[in-house]
Structure 1
Amino acid sequence: MSSTPSTQGYEIVDFANVPGVPCPCGTAKRGLADVSDYPGTIHVTEISVDAKVHYHKRLTETYFFLECDEDARMQLDDQIIPVHPGMCVMIRPGTRHRALGKMKIVNIVFPKFDPEDEWFD
């Protein structure tokens, strides 16, 4: 992918070829980060059981759950909610959050993901 708008009118991301990077939740494969005319990023994230509570000051994340252990949950500030495949949770800036249990998600992030906007208490 290039950093200039595509003359084809579309972009393709094959996540099988996107390298994973460590994140507070486990390992994320981040797509569309280098596409200048797309305002966000799309991540496929494998969440480990030891996800760390964190928050973002600018970013809004939307988790779409693809796969989950039966006991999978999300901590959202002081609430813990059960999650399952097919659910979606939108997380506004300032919301402390973490995943509890193993899961695989698609994370839609607006504006583009910035690792400098990961904060820990």
Structure 2
Amino acid sequence: MAEPQIVDLTAIEPIACPCGLARRAFADFAAFPGTVHLTEIQATAQSHSHRDHTEIYVILDCDGDAAIELDGIRTPVAPLTAIAIPPGVVHRAIGRIRTLIICHPEFDPLDEVLTEN
């Protein structure tokens, strides 16, 4: 039986990603077939999709004009908005956003497909 894990997401070194900076946890936790990311969305966020990953975004904090763009449709977001993004959906966050992302299966950067903004 797996032992529980406790992770301070803010203690993880951030990694550049198409959205901005991500702090990824639980890649080595066999009891959970996914990862959890604390991501700081930057103004340079790129549109992208995933071949196999499903992502759940939970907006923790954002500017008043923040939005999510899903297959070209822009929708305003606010703190505690949750967004489910299945594989193949071209998406990007717009504006300053701090989000928790649950990725299933475990994140793999080779699964990302960058597109034009």
TM-score range, shorter chain: over 0.9
Counterpart CA distance in 1 for 2:44 and 2:77 is 17
Which residue of structure 2 aligns with residue 79 of structure 1? Answer: 73
1:15 Cα offset (Å): 1.2
User: Which runs of 5 or more structure 1 residues have no equivalent in the other structure?
Assistant: none
Match of 1:66 in 2: 60
1:97 counterpart residue number: 91
Deviations 1:47-103 (A, max 9, x none): 001100000010000000000000000110021000000100000000000000001
Secondary structure of 1:74 counterpart? strand
**Corresponding position of 1:16:** 10
The structure richer in strand per residue is 2
Return the alpha-carbon distance in structure 2 between the equivalents of residues 35 and 17 of structure 1: 17
- The aligned length equals 115
Moved over 4 A (4+): none
Query: Normalised by the size of structure 2, how large is the TM-score?
Result: 0.94
How far apart, CA to CA, are the structure 1 residues paired with 2:44 and 2:114? 14
Identity of aligned residues (%): 42
- Between structure 1 and structure 2, the one with the greater Rg is 1
- For residue 58 of structure 1, give the secondary structure of its aligned residue in structure 2: coil
Read off the aligned partner of 1:41 and give its amino acid letter. Answer: T
Q: How does 1:3-42 map to 2 (within 5 A)?
A: 6=2, 9-42=3-36
